[in-house]
Structure 1
Amino acid sequence: MNDPVLTLEGLTKGYNHGKPSEVRVLDGASLTIAPGEVVALVAPSGAGKSTLLHIAGLLDVADAGRVQIGGEDVTGLSDRRRTTIRRNDVGFIYQFHHLLPEFTALENIVLPQLANGATGSDARARALSLLDTVGIAPRAGHRPAALSGGEQQRVAFCRALANNPKLLLADEPTGNLDPETSDRVFDALMGLVRSTGLSALIATHNLELAARMDRAVRLEAGKLVESGAQ
């Protein structure tokens, strides 16, 4: 049996430690995501979704608890090793695309591959394949300013998957789009995820989008509980 792609065990995280005003955003949060599974993370703004995603993606450190990616305990690793795992095994998508404005859509997807040691021809071929999967290959030569909001976010999706990660973490990936565009772009994201077979944890406050994933978990009082959204 394959190891879970992501395991979170008893994560706690607070701010203003030891002070009367301390806020504990995570309080024993636990979650396991199987290979190929797409899980919705549902919670209102300010509940700790971003904090949980940052800890899961090794951008932040929990006060207590464990994180495993692909069966490897990554909790106490050095910064260098955490950076390597984050670059190779984790893809991030945010509400805003954060594309490099001076580069084309294609180049935005090629660059992280080159930084990871890919050849130019291989990186270009993968970038074009990803853009084709989300339906905007004809826009490959355009810079972000010449793309619509939905197109920009699709490029961001492709960039997140450029280095073939094991795990995709997305924080309100369609939250900056109008409802109609959001629906189309989410379809593109799910098609990309399913075609590559990776696992994903996607934060959203949209219960309709959550219901289209394999299952949903809700962040309540710092803990993760199964949601009835699915």
Structure 2
Amino acid sequence: MSEAMLKLAGVEKAYNKGKANEVSVLSGIDLTIGAGEMVALVAPSGAGKSTLLHIAGLLDTADAGVVEIGGEDMVGRSDRRRTITRRQEVGFVYQFHHLLPEFTAEENIVLPQLADGISRKVAEARAAELLSQVGIADRAGHRPNAMSGGEQQRVAFCRALANSPRLLLADEPTGNLDPGTSDQVFAALMELVRGTGLAALIATHNLELAARMDRVVKLENGRIVVG
């Protein structure tokens, strides 16, 4: 395998820990994803896939285990260090695009770059490049409400990759789209991922889309099993 961008080892997570109503969600997750690899995460609703993605992306903390991003163990790191790593190394895509409605497509991609200290000129060039890659360069000046659902989600992909992360985490990124649009949007996502060589963990219920990725893993009873 190429260099590991994400490594989870023995990751455990429970809610209401230590109480009578404790609920164990993750029970020893082991998963490694290399640079340039797309991995599909398949799980039924309520199985804990969102919790797994949040821990992998440093939005939540594990009760036990190792969480490495780019070879650095993030367990026990300061909030500041985790925030910096999350902002610079991790891109997120959700089922709903969560674009800022008062800003254009270009501005939605530029803003996270400005927050990371990138100059506006460079940020705008990066936004233009990404929008072109997903085939909607002509929508750069449109606000979200003037774009279709598929176009909005493509902008969300571009925003997630704006700061050139090494790890992409996606939670049902095409789940809110009709089948035809879903296929087109997923193709755009695959092109972005393949073109940048980042590692990607993509949760999906769509088994046809999952089969187009490099590997399929399933989350069952709090553990990862090979699909």
C-alpha separation in 1, matches of 2:226 and 2:170: 19
C-alpha separation in 2, matches of 1:56 and 1:65: 12
Per the alignment, in what secondary structure is the counterpart of residue 164 of structure 1?
Answer: coil
What residue in structure 2 maps to residue 63 of structure 1?
Answer: 63
Matched, 1:161 2:161: yes
TM-score normalised according to structure 1 size: 0.97
What residue in structure 1 maps to residue 87 of structure 2?
Answer: 87
What residue in structure 1 maps to residue 42 of structure 2?
Answer: 42
What residue in structure 2 maps to residue 135 of structure 1?
Answer: 135
Matched, 1:152 2:152: yes
C-alpha separation in 1, matches of 2:40 and 2:20: 33
Q: How does 1:107-126 map to 2 (within 5 A)?
A: 107-126=107-126
Runs of 5+ unmatched residues, structure 2: none
Matched, 1:10 2:15: no
Give the residue type in structure 1 aligned to 2:174. Answer: T
Runs of 5+ unmatched residues, structure 1: none
What residue in structure 2 maps to residue 198 of structure 1?
Answer: 198
Per the alignment, in what secondary structure is the counterpart of residue 4 of structure 2?
Answer: coil
Per the alignment, in what secondary structure is the counterpart of residue 181 of structure 2?
Answer: helix
Aligned-residue offset at 1:19: 2.7
What residue in structure 1 maps to residue 97 of structure 2?
Answer: 97
Give the residue type in structure 1 aligned to 2:123. Answer: A
Aligned-residue offset at 1:147: 0.4
What residue in structure 2 maps to residue 189 of structure 1?
Answer: 189
Give the residue type in structure 2 aligned to 1:141. Answer: G
C-alpha separation in 2, matches of 1:159 and 1:135: 15
TM-score normalised according to structure 2 size: 0.98
- Could you list the per-position Cα deviations for residues 189-208 of structure 1 after superposition, in whole angstroms to 9, with x for gaps in the alignment? 10111111111000011111
Percent of aligned pairs sharing the same letter: 74
C-alpha separation in 1, matches of 2:169 and 2:34: 14
Aligned-residue offset at 1:2: 5.5
C-alpha separation in 2, matches of 1:19 and 1:79: 26
Give the residue type in structure 2 aligned to 1:61. Answer: T
Per the alignment, in what secondary structure is the counterpart of residue 97 of structure 1?
Answer: coil
Per the alignment, in what secondary structure is the counterpart of residue 162 of structure 1?
Answer: coil
Per the alignment, in what secondary structure is the counterpart of residue 124 of structure 2?
Answer: helix
Matched, 1:218 2:206: no
Per the alignment, in what secondary structure is the counterpart of residue 5 of structure 1?
Answer: strand
C-alpha separation in 1, matches of 2:56 and 2:26: 12
Aligned-residue offset at 1:16: 1.7
Give the residue type in structure 1 aligned to 2:176. Answer: N
C-alpha separation in 2, matches of 1:189 and 1:5: 19
- Could you list the per-position Cα deviations for residues 138-162 of structure 1 after superposition, in whole angstroms to 9, with x for gaps in the alignment? 0000000000000000000000000
Per the alignment, in what secondary structure is the counterpart of residue 88 of structure 1?
Answer: helix
Runs of 4+ deviating beyond 4 Å: none
Count of residues in correspondence between the two structures: 227
